């Protein structure tokens, strides 16, 4: 996540062309994502629809079948240069632990099982992977399938 504002002459700036964060524009500081439970009934499914009605929100299911709400919103601690962290020395652990080798710049999102940007995409996924039993949702099979797999 965003780089420290390196002071000229005091310490060598490690963010040169060889560093993956160089010239990135701190894409990882412009959103946050929160883990949510997989929906098990129609009420929970409806709550996810509500998230998706908001601007800048996407819900995704990662390769481990964990569900997340992703909210596009720039961190208040990103400097006005759009590149440096104003609280670098006390930044949260999630920022410290972020690995440039496995970030959105390398587009690891292609591994996700599903990404929903609107309710229609979520409903297609529901139809493919779940059956409705009363108010409950039951998986059709042990592993979740990508919607595009159903077309082939």
Residue from 105, 124, 145, 146 touching ligand SF4 (CB under 6 A): that is: 105
33 binds ligand SF4 (CB under 6 A): no
Distance in angstroms (rounded) separating the CA atoms of residues 148 and 113: 10
Does residue 78 bind ligand SF4 (CB under 6 A)? yes
- Token digits of residue 143: 């592993």
Q: Residues 11, 97, 106, CA angle at the centre, nearest 5°?
A: 90
Does residue 59 belong to the site contacting ligand SF4 (CB under 6 A)?
no
Residues binding ligand SF4: number (CB under 6 A): 22
**In the chain, which residue ranges form alpha helices assigned H by DSSP?**
42-52, 93-96, 119-129
Binding site for ligand SF4 (CB under 6 A): 1-2, 20-21, 24, 26-29, 75, 77-78, 85, 87, 91-92, 95, 98, 100, 103-105
């Amino acid at each position: 996540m965003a780089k420290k504002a390196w002071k000229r002459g005091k310490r060598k700036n490690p963010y040169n062309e060889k560093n993956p964060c160089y010239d990135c524009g701190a894409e990882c500081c412009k959103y946050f994502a929160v883990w949510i439970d997989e929906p098990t009934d129609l009420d929970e499914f409806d709550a996810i629809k509500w998230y998706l009605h908001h601007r800048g929100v996407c819900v995704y299911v990662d390769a481990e079948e964990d569900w997340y709400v992703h909210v596009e919103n720039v961190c208040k601690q990103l400097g006005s240069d759009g590149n440096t962290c104003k609280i670098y020395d006390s930044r949260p652990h999630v920022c410290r632990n972020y690995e440039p080798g496995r970030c959105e710049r390398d587009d690891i999102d292609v591994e996700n099982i599903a990404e929903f940007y609107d309710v229609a995409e979520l409903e297609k996924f529901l139809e493919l992977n779940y059956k409705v039993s009363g108010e409950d949702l039951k998986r059709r099979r042990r592993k979740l399938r990508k919607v595009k797999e159903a077309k082939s």
